[in-house]
Structure 1
Amino acid sequence: MPSATSNDDLSDSSTGVTVKPVVNAVRILRFLTASGSPERASDIARELSINPSTCFNTLRTLVAEEMLDFDPLSKTYTTGLGLAKLVEHLVTQGQRLDVVRPLMQEFAAAHHVTVTLWRRMGNDRIVLVSSETSPGDLRIDMAIGQRLPVLMGASGRLFAARLGLDAERLRAVFDKVRWARPLRFEDYQRQVADASANGWAVDDGYFSTGILAVAAPVDDRTGAIAYAMSAVTFRGQYADAEVAKLGQSLSKAAAKVGNILF
């Protein structure tokens, strides 16, 4: 039998808060995945120190959501097709990102920039999932997994245009962002409108002093923005007209990325 997982393993490190039914469900999924064999509800409850009634209700819910399968003859539970499909989707997404990387590398080399791919995480954060630098040029390195407020950077202008926030709510989110240099809300609104009209956005040193970033949206099949593809370089490397050409080229590249990812 695999060993039980402590509830502390699933605590939110930033708040210390756990939602116990979610914790129990995750622990059950981990247990059955590690076991690899059918298990009875009573054995699962005992091994994980979960109240038998609570464990049974959680198991029934996971079966209803197709995360687990239930054999009525042996009265045992195993991992279900829904869980397999979920894992398969994640693996496939990672494989697709591998296919995207050469395209990002090609763009980075052609335009002497660092190319980054940001994924939207809910309504308030974006996370860096891929980064490629230009060979032979001075590099701007960014750590994979880095998280930023959704309105931050060139990509933030793109997401802001799609979030459907009115001016008051947008201002409330905007005021929480720490900008590298002063930025008036009215100017930010104008930049968001420009991003919406152009199909690409610019951050000229507001995300990081001395850094210019241009971003284009990567839409899913429904037309919703799922990722933002950014070209990052040092300020002063491109004239305004060249920035516009970079944005147009990036938009075409981002459309290709969308075709691969979705």
Structure 2
Amino acid sequence: MRDDDDETVRTDEGPTRIGRNGVQAVERAVRLLEVLAAAGTPRTMQDLAAELGCSPSTAHRITATLAQSGLLQFNPVTRRYGLGAGITRLAKRRAAQFDLASVAQPFMNELRAATDETVSLWVRSNDAKVCVAVSEGSHEIRQYVAVGTLAPMELSPGSRVLMADETRETVRRWVRGILGEAAAVEAAAVEATVLAEVAGVRRTGVVMLSDEPGNRHHPDVATVAAPIFGDGGAIVAALVVAGPNRRFTGDRMRDSREPLKAEALAISSALGGDPGNALS
């Protein structure tokens, strides 16, 4: 039975209902951060409860959750709350993503013109990846992705690129975690392929989607990805070209590799990045 107080939000999995209490808690958490951002000094729990229009016990639950994430800091001497170091960390990441997106966009538009398919730019976010820029394909039927989309680190080419700076053992655990339910022989073959591709990202400069059981999230989408290098040669993002596999066939993916690699290196150069090993 549907709860009339539920609200519907859109996620990567489609429309999802959240209870009104959950929505209200999020709204209050955002409001609390805004209050502290506007305040000149840290505030007491009573101050925060009054600003939020809730009881001190409710305000305490919200502050405790935010403090665990480092977004709030509690001073046990003054018994006051202020913004935590986590806010600075998020602000720095947001600035870096914005700079990356603004620098990459014109090169992405060039790549879209060369391939006619959707081009997107992805960065790691812990165990997931976030889309920070998009240049939509010119076809009526095309791969659609929105800026801000949070997606799992599945075995797609983009994810493989983003895992290229991890250790071999970390990559192996990542692959096994995704293929946990696959048959042992099948999983071993996929693991070997993924390990080889991830290890070869810097040498080849590109990863293409192959027909493997690990690519289950979007079985009708064909994808090619290339690394974006930042300061010190670290891989900071994955540049991805994707389209329906009925049109973006193996031949067309292979044709897209050189323009993809060229634009990825151009973005890296514009960012002041160093590809490290030469890409062939």
TM-score exceeds 0.5: yes
CA distance in 1, matches of 2:149, 2:193: 26
Residue 200 of structure 1 aligns with an amino acid whose one-letter code is V
Alpha-carbon RMSD across the aligned residues, in angstroms, is: 4.6
- Counterpart check, 1:107 vs 2:111: yes
CA distance in 2, matches of 1:132, 1:239: 17
Residue 41 of structure 1 aligns with an amino acid whose one-letter code is T
Task: Note if contact 1:113-1:134 (Cα within 8 Å) is conserved in structure 2.
Answer: yes
Task: Note if contact 2:45-2:56 (Cα within 8 Å) is conserved in structure 1.
Answer: no
SS in 1 for 2:102: helix
CA distance in 1, matches of 2:89, 2:49: 29
Mean Cα displacement is larger for which, 108-117 or 187-196? 187-196
**Once the 2 structures are TM-superposed, how far is the Cα of residue 105 of structure 1 from its aligned partner?**
1.0
Task: Note if contact 1:210-1:235 (Cα within 8 Å) is conserved in structure 2.
Answer: no
Pairing 1:45-56 to 2, within 5 Å after superposition: 46-47=49-50, 49-50=55-56
Task: Note if contact 1:215-1:229 (Cα within 8 Å) is conserved in structure 2.
Answer: yes
Query: TM-score, with normalisation over the residues of structure 1?
Result: 0.62
Q: Which runs of 5+ in 2 are unaligned?
A: 1-15, 274-280
Query: TM-score, with normalisation over the residues of structure 2?
Result: 0.59
- CA change 1:66–1:202 in 2 (3 A) is closer
Pairing 1:54-69 to 2, within 5 Å after superposition: none
Residue 105 of structure 2 aligns with an amino acid whose one-letter code is R
The percent of aligned pairs where both chains have the same amino acid is 20
Task: Provide Cα deviations, 1:65-117, integer angstroms capped at 9, x if missing partner.
Answer: 9978x9xxxx9987699957854763574365234322211221023332111
**Once the 2 structures are TM-superposed, how far is the Cα of residue 122 of structure 1 from its aligned partner?**
0.5
- Counterpart check, 1:132 vs 2:142: no
SS in 2 for 1:227: strand
- CA change 1:200–1:126 in 2 (3 A) is same
Mean Cα displacement is larger for which, 93-102 or 214-223? 93-102
- Counterpart check, 1:232 vs 2:236: no
Report the equivalent of 2:225: 215
CA distance in 1, matches of 2:82, 2:175: 49
Task: Provide Cα deviations, 1:168-208, integer angstroms capped at 9, x if missing partner.
Answer: 52442241599xxx883223333333334212211135544
Residue 118 of structure 2 aligns with an amino acid whose one-letter code is T
Report the equivalent of 1:41: 44
CA distance in 2, matches of 1:210, 1:77: 50
CA distance in 2, matches of 1:120, 1:138: 30
Report the equivalent of 1:161: 164
Task: Note if contact 1:218-1:227 (Cα within 8 Å) is conserved in structure 2.
Answer: yes
Residue 264 of structure 2 aligns with an amino acid whose one-letter code is S
Task: Note if contact 2:72-2:81 (Cα within 8 Å) is conserved in structure 1.
Answer: no
Q: Which runs of 4+ in 1 moved over 6 A?
A: 23-27, 65-68, 75-82
Q: Which runs of 5+ in 1 are unaligned?
A: 1-12
SS in 2 for 1:101: helix
Pairing 1:239-254 to 2, within 5 Å after superposition: 240=254, 242-254=255-267
- CA change 1:204–1:83 in 2 (3 A) is closer
Task: Note if contact 2:109-2:135 (Cα within 8 Å) is conserved in structure 1.
Answer: yes
